[in-house]
């Protein structure tokens, strides 16, 4: 591996964000310096026998950033652009996200550089199981607990859990979260991130004095697992979803899209492109539509300096990790009176929050109802929203900085309390 492995825009932006916020709030420089470096970065080769008999080798990563408050926690993604810098940045953000939400967990992240759409089910399973074997001593219920991310799902988590359990000689459901309910998963986990984003947006609307009704509109970039459930909850609350997109295209209907029908088409065709209930629209143009709520729930870096100046939404709820670039964030800070930002470390934290619930349920072998899971999720999201807004108003900083300051304070206190060993 070369130094280029670290040369990722998300990593540079995350380090810059940490430094800017930390220095401005006079964070202990020793703490800040420690937070700019992961505790451990694991890089492995993953040989896989393909269906045609070839043995192909992939690069796998697991970065463990900070476990001061508890075991490392974070997703595992399968994508062609996975690299050490990206995974490190995401592990850093997970540490801050868990601290912000008050969870007794630290930040981790992993991935394999592969195009999962080109793998058969058998190839994906063999890849997952071999990757698990390569990192088996670095994960565990009390060490590091992976979860689904881009390109992975609950089936992948069940393969990891089974492989780990076989290697250890006993069933260990809590080694991962985001599993199927039949093997120790939690009700409501799959829907949690999207529901959390929508709930955060409605909390913001209430704070801004915006009444949620049929006259309110939403635009969703990324009609995947996060976008689908965010759209569903918003629609159930009366909000009109007027535009949505996936990697193949975007659709628009000023009178509101039928979310249920659109979800059905996605299941049948793998895309919402061509959905008859709306007309095609350019994906970039879609982001600039006038709306009450905009949810970027696709990939990082989609809202740059130019796009940030064109947004016509009242609430920007970041469903994806890092959808706004550093330059874009500077523009949004200048537009605080026009665009109310719900930063990713808060807005999409519903997933890790319910992952925490799943982890606890698995350790106790006592499982909750879907109603209990959802109520606990909404209680936590509402509580943290009020705390972030309090910092935002009292310290006169933007919402992203407010969330970061709150998280840094919690993490810093834990680090200083524990001290440095030896």
The DSSP result for 297-309, as a single string, is -S-TT-B-HHHHT
Q: What is the mean pLDDT of the chain?
A: 95
Fold of 38-174: Rossmann fold (3.40.50)
pLDDT of res. 3: 57
Please state, for a pLDDT cut of 70, what percent of the chain lies above it: 99
pLDDT of res. 8: 86
pLDDT of res. 321: 86
pLDDT of res. 301: 87
Neighbours of 269 (CB within 10 A): 12
Contact 218, 234 (CB under 8 A): yes
CATH 3.20.20.70 at 190-347, yes or no? no
Among candidate residues 324, 194, 356, 332, the one with its CA nearest the CA of residue 259? 194
Among candidate residues 101, 96, 48, 18, the one with its CA nearest the CA of residue 385? 101
Cβ neighbourhood burial of 351 (10 Å; 0-12, 13-18, 19+) = buried
Please tell me which residue in 4, 73, 97, 109 is annotated as part of the active site.
109
For residues 51 and 119, what is the distance between their CA atoms, to the nearest angstrom? Answer: 9
pLDDT at 1 > cutoff 60 = no
Contact 103, 70 (CB under 8 A): yes
Tell me which residue has tokens 């408050």. Answer: 69
For residues 125 and 131, what is the distance between their CA atoms, to the nearest angstrom? Answer: 10
Indicate if 109 belongs to the active site.
yes
Contact 148, 226 (CB under 8 A): no
pLDDT of res. 13: 84
Name 29's Cβ contacts closer than 8 Å, sequence gap at least 6.
Answer: none
Question: How would you classify the pairing of strands 240-246 and 249-252?
Answer: antiparallel
- Phi, psi of 74, deg, nearest 5: 170, 165
Average pLDDT over residues 228-245: 96
Mind giving me the DSSP string for 102-147? T-S-EEEEEEEES-GGGS-HHHHHHHHHHHHHHTGGG-BTTTEEEE
Tell me which residue has tokens 């006592």. Answer: 366
pLDDT of res. 150: 87
pLDDT digits (tens, 9 = 90+) for 61-88: 999 999 999 999 999 999 999 999 999 9
pLDDT of res. 2: 47
243 DSSP β-pair partners: 219, 252
For residues 402 and 405, what is the distance between their CA atoms, to the nearest angstrom? Answer: 5
For residues 43 and 84, what is the distance between their CA atoms, to the nearest angstrom? Answer: 8
For residues 151 and 3, what is the distance between their CA atoms, to the nearest angstrom? Answer: 26
pLDDT digits (tens, 9 = 90+) for 246-303: 989 999 999 999 999 999 999 999 999 999 999 999 999 999 999 999 999 988 889 9
Q: pTM value?
A: 0.93
Contact 387, 406 (CB under 8 A): yes
pLDDT of res. 407: 98
Tell me which residue has tokens 């990697």. Answer: 247
Question: How would you classify the pairing of strands 217-221 and 240-246?
Answer: parallel
pLDDT digits (tens, 9 = 90+) for 143-164: 999 999 989 999 999 999 999 9
**38-174 shares its CATH topology with 190-347:** yes
Average pLDDT over residues 174-185: 96
pLDDT of res. 326: 86
pLDDT of res. 49: 98
First to last CA, the chain: 31
pLDDT at 34 > cutoff 70 = yes
Cα 298–Cα 304–Cα 307 angle in degrees, nearest 5: 90
pLDDT of res. 285: 95
The domains of the chain are located at 38-174, 190-347
Tell me which residue has tokens 């393909």. Answer: 50
pLDDT of res. 300: 82
Tokens read off for 359? 């982890």
Higher-pLDDT residue of 388 and 321 is 388
pLDDT of res. 315: 98
Per-position b or e across 42-62, b if 16+ CB within 10 A of its CB: bebebebeeeeeeeeebbbbb
Coil, strand or helix at 176: coil
> What kind and span of H or E run contains 405?
helix 399-418
């Amino acid at each position: 591996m070369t130094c280029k492995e670290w040369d990722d825009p998300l990593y540079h932006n995350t380090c810059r964000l940490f430094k800017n916020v930390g220095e401005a709030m006079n964070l202990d420089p020793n703490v800040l310096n420690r937070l700019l470096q992961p505790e451990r970065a694991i890089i492995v080769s993953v040989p896989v026998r393909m269906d045609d008999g070839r043995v192909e080798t992939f690069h796998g990563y697991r970065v463990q950033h900070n476990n001061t408050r508890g075991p490392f926690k974070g997703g595992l993604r399968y994508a062609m652009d996975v690299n050490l810098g990206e995974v490190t940045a995401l592990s850093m953000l997970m540490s801050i996200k868990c601290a912000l939400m008050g969870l007794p967990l630290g930040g981790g992240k992993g991935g394999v550089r592969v195009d999962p759409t080109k793998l058969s089910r058998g190839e994906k399973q063999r890849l997952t199981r071999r990757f698990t074997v390569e990192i088996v001593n670095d994960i565990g219920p009390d060490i590091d607990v992976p979860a689904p991310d881009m390109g992975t799902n609950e089936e992948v988590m069940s393969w990891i859990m089974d492989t780990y359990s076989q290697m250890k000689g006993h069933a260990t459901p809590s080694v991962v979260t985001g599993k199927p309910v039949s093997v120790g998963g939690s009700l409501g986990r799959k829907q949690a991130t999207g529901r959390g984003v929508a709930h955060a947006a409605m909390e913001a609307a209430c704070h801004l004095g915006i009444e949620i009704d049929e006259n309110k509109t939403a635009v969703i970039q990324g009609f995947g697992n996060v976008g689908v459930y965010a759209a569903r909850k918003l629609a159930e609350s009366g909000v009109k979803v007027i535009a949505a997109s996936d990697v193949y295209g975007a659709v628009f209907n000023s009178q509101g899209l039928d979310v249920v029908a659109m979800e059905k088409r996605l299941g049948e065709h793998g895309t919402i492109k061509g959905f008859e209930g709306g007309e095609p629209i350019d994906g970039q143009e879609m982001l600039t539509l006038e709306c009450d709520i905009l949810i970027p729930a696709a990939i990082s870096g989609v809202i740059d300096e130019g796009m940030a100046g064109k947004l016509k939404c009242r609430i920007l709820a970041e469903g994806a990790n890092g959808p706004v670039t550093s330059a874009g964030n500077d523009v949004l800070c200048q537009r605080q009176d026009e665009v109310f930002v719900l930063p990713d470390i808060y807005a999409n934290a519903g997933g890790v929050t319910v992952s925490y619930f799943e982890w606890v349920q698995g350790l106790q072998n006592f499982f909750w109802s879907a109603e209990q899971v959802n109520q606990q999720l909404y209680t936590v999201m509402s509580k943290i929203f009020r705390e972030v807004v309090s910092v935002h108003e009292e310290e006169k900083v933007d919402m992203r900085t407010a969330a970061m300051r709150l998280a840094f304070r919690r993490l810093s206190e834990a680090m200083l309390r524990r001290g440095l060993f030896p």
